[in-house]
Every structure is written in C-alpha cells, then in structure tokens.
C-alpha cells in the first residue's frame, strides 16, 4: 500500500504529469472558445445577411420611385421647345388675323358668314381665349367642308358649339362658336366677356363686331 501511494506521489510531482494536465485543460479551453466563436460568427453572419438583404430591397424601391425622374431635365427642355413651337406656328400673332383666316376658309368652302362677333374668355398667364360667334349659311356639304377646314387649319381653332337655326330649300343656316387663343399683349381691349355656350353676344354690341 505504501509503495502504491509512493508511486502516485511521484506521478503527481512529475513535471510530465502537469504538462499533460495543462495540455488537456488547454485543449478543452480551445474547444470551448472555438465553439463559442463559431456560434457568434454564425449569428453575426446571419444578421449581416439580413441587413444586406434589407438594404438591397430599400435600394430597389428607391430606384423604382426615382425612375420617372430620370432624364426629367431633358424632357422639360423638350416640352418647352414644343410649347414655343406650338405658339409660333398655331397661335395668331394679331387679333385681325383671326377674322382674315376664318374669312378665307369660308370663301374656300363656299359658305357665307354673317353677324360675326368676338368675345373674350378668362385671361391666362400665357394665353387668353377669344371666341367668335357667327352665322354660317350654305349647303350642307359646304358647311361640313368649312367646319373640317377650321379643325384642320394651321391656326389653332376649337369648335365650341353649333346650333341649327333653320333651312331654306337646300340652304342650311347655323350659329357657330369657334375659339382660338392670343397672347395677353395681343388681346384687344373692350371685348365683351364670353357667355355660356348657346348665348351669343348681343347683335347690337358694336365693340364685339368684326374688326
């Protein structure tokens, strides 16, 4: 018994034994730390992946929201050019040109105009509407050619109203209201205001007569 105890004491006091014991403790510590590090890395990696996915979704949503704004500056310039071109080509530069152009179309179509009267609509910042009320007399094909020529004319005309007045044989009589626009500086003064469709200005209003 004494010899066995002596053997154990020798082993416990042996440096080799303590080296093995220290090595075993170190191995266990490394395993524990490695396991903890692996768990922490997995959690961190999962969180980073989720965060990255969220940022990618936000970026895609932002791209979709801003897509209509791409090239907006170029479209604005193009729109301004188109507006200037429209004004230059289709808006009369003078009040007298309206009566002149409408009269030319009437002659070409074979109709006769009477009681031509002008009224002024609400003034806008860039353009103001001016309306022409007139009696139109002619055969049905002639009147249709006149109306079609107004709608297709280079000057911008809009048919506001047509009212059947009567018919004598093959001759039809209409009351027509057509509108166009002028720049505010070209708008004549003293015109009566435009009334509701179907209510032409007074026939005796001299200020609204054709110039």
CA–CA separation, 34 and 40 (whole Å): 10
Alpha helices in the chain (DSSP H): 2-12, 15-66, 72-90, 95-109, 140-152
Q: Which pTM value belongs to this model? A: 0.59
Would you kindly state where each structural domain of the chain is located, as residue ranges? 2-64, 93-208
Instruction: Please state whether 200 falls in left (phi above 0), alpha (psi between -120 and 50) or beta.
Output: beta
Specify the pLDDT at position 10.
57
Q: What is the pLDDT along the chain (211 residues), one digit of tens a residue?
A: 555 555 555 555 555 555 555 556 565 665 666 666 665 655 555 555 656 666 666 666 666 666 666 666 677 666 778 888 888 888 888 878 888 999 999 999 999 999 989 998 877 788 889 999 999 999 999 999 999 999 999 999 999 999 999 998 889 999 999 999 988 888 888 888 888 765 555 444 434 454 4
| CATH of segment(s) 93-208 | 3.30.70.60
Sheet holding 158-168, edge to edge: 112-123, 128-139, 171-182, 158-168
3-state secondary structure of 160: strand
């Amino acid at each position: 018994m004494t010899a066995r105890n002596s053997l154990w004491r020798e082993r416990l006091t042996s440096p080799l034994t303590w080296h093995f014991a220290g090595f075993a403790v170190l191995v266990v510590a490394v395993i524990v730390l490695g396991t903890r590090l692996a768990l922490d890395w997995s959690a961190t990696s999962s969180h980073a992946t989720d965060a990255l996915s969220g940022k990618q979704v936000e970026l895609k949503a932002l791209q979709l929201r801003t897509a209509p704004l791409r090239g907006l500056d170029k479209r604005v310039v193009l729109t301004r050019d188109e507006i200037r071109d429209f004004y230059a080509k289709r808006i009369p530069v003078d009040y007298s040109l309206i009566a002149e152009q409408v009269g030319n179309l009437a002659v070409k179509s074979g109709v006769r105009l009477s009681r031509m009267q002008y009224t002024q609509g609400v003034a806008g910042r860039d353009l103001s509407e001016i309306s022409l009320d007139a009696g139109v007399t002619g055969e049905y094909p002639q009147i249709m050619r006149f109306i079609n020529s107004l709608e297709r004319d280079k000057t911008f005309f809009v048919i506001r109203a047509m009212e059947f007045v009567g018919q004598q044989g093959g001759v039809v009589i209409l009351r027509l209201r057509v509108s166009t626009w002028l720049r505010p500086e070209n708008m004549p003064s003293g015109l009566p205001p435009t009334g509701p469709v179907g209510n032409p200005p007074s026939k005796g209003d001299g200020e609204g007569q054709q110039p």
